[in-house]
Structure 1
């Protein structure tokens, strides 16, 4: 039986912090695999700045050579209104029925789930396991204790909390701004991705990728 972590994000672009976080979590929890899961460009709470194709290509470049890292475009293939984290985890549980699957997230998302701001929040926590990274100003144990759906689903294995050791922050927004303003974000992202961005002239102008621009990729 393998242990698999599902690591979802925009990855716009993927950074060295994403890779370090995934590697640290894999080491700490003895995960056999971390799946990098880029989100759908249709999410209403996200504004993508490059096409799905470019995001996907950079993820593949960034994780190349690490046998524990793989990429999956499951959410990228779905429109936002067709997909939820509950559906995503159900998909991976069916794909890997003999393995332990963990959803990797920050404590800020734990707060949202606890307040039932996500679709099927109750079912999500009842049927899955989580690795939760600390976020400044959030008491994770208190968050669980204050939420009926969180505390009633936690039997010692549901929430695996990382309270210290993952404080590194490299903002994708900062990196995009550096490229746009002719700055130098080298060494904040993998070298292969840095070269890819330069060659393809990505992030040189501000603005989001519209749904029409990205539909063809799906």
Structure 2
């Protein structure tokens, strides 16, 4: 019996903390692109290019709390298990293609990361682009088609693998803003799930 391939989005971020915008974005992408599954992929606190403010365990716990009521959302801590400095996105996507060989996978990213790839700032970007499909979310002030057209690598692979989402996804409430509010005694209660807000307060996270 042949099963219909699923459409799966890989959604990587530090999720430090996971916010309502993360959840709204994942839900909107899943709805518009008919995804069957969105995998929340927290990045390791050991990454040399992106410092996290909270340990892996806390971020994993908050993601579990945030997504527990949505059957389309799943957590995969894969990047937390690999050696820092030895793992790049193209390795991660190869891992997931091995895990889901019958399914159609998409790497979900913001337009700012598309610009970084166009500017040659990613490691192994050639293999990443050649081997994968992408859902790219709009960011204020970024022309996604221009970024693709000015990069030989991107424009020569512009065969449908770049799914551009240019409407209604440029919300800018960030995890950084929420951390700053907590550290200064603010009240960002309605910017993240209630369960995560309670978890942060109970564990004293993001204090100066």
* TM-score, normalized by the shorter chain, greater than 0.5: yes
Q: Secondary structure at the match of 1:116?
A: coil
Match of 1:26 among 13, 27, 30: 30
Aligned to 1:142: 146
Aligned to 1:49: 53
Match of 2:182 among 179, 184, 191: 179
TM-score between the two structures when normalised by the length of structure 1 = 0.91
Contact map agreement 1:41 1:79 (CA 8 A) in 2: no
Give the whole-Å Cα distance in 2 for the aligned partners of 1:55 and 1:95.
Answer: 23
Specify every segment of 5 or more residues in structure 2 that has no aligned partner in the other structure, as ranges: none
Structure 1 residue 117, shift from structure 2 partner: 1.5
Give the whole-Å Cα distance in 2 for the aligned partners of 1:182 and 1:29.
Answer: 39
User: How many residues were matched structurally?
Assistant: 204
Match of 2:173 among 170, 179, 184: 170
Aligned to 1:88: 92
Structure 1 residue 179, shift from structure 2 partner: 1.0
The worse-fitting range, judged by mean Cα deviation, of 34-43 and 109-118 is 109-118
Give the whole-Å Cα distance in 1 for the aligned partners of 2:33 and 2:59.
Answer: 27
Aligned to 2:62: 58
Moved over 2 A (4+): none
TM-score between the two structures when normalised by the length of structure 2 = 0.96
Contact map agreement 2:137 2:170 (CA 8 A) in 1: no
Q: Is 2:108 the partner of 1:104?
A: yes
Specify every segment of 5 or more residues in structure 1 that has no aligned partner in the other structure, as ranges: 206-218
Q: Secondary structure at the match of 1:193?
A: helix
Match of 1:120 among 118, 124, 129: 124
Aligned to 2:40: 36
Contact map agreement 1:9 1:37 (CA 8 A) in 2: yes
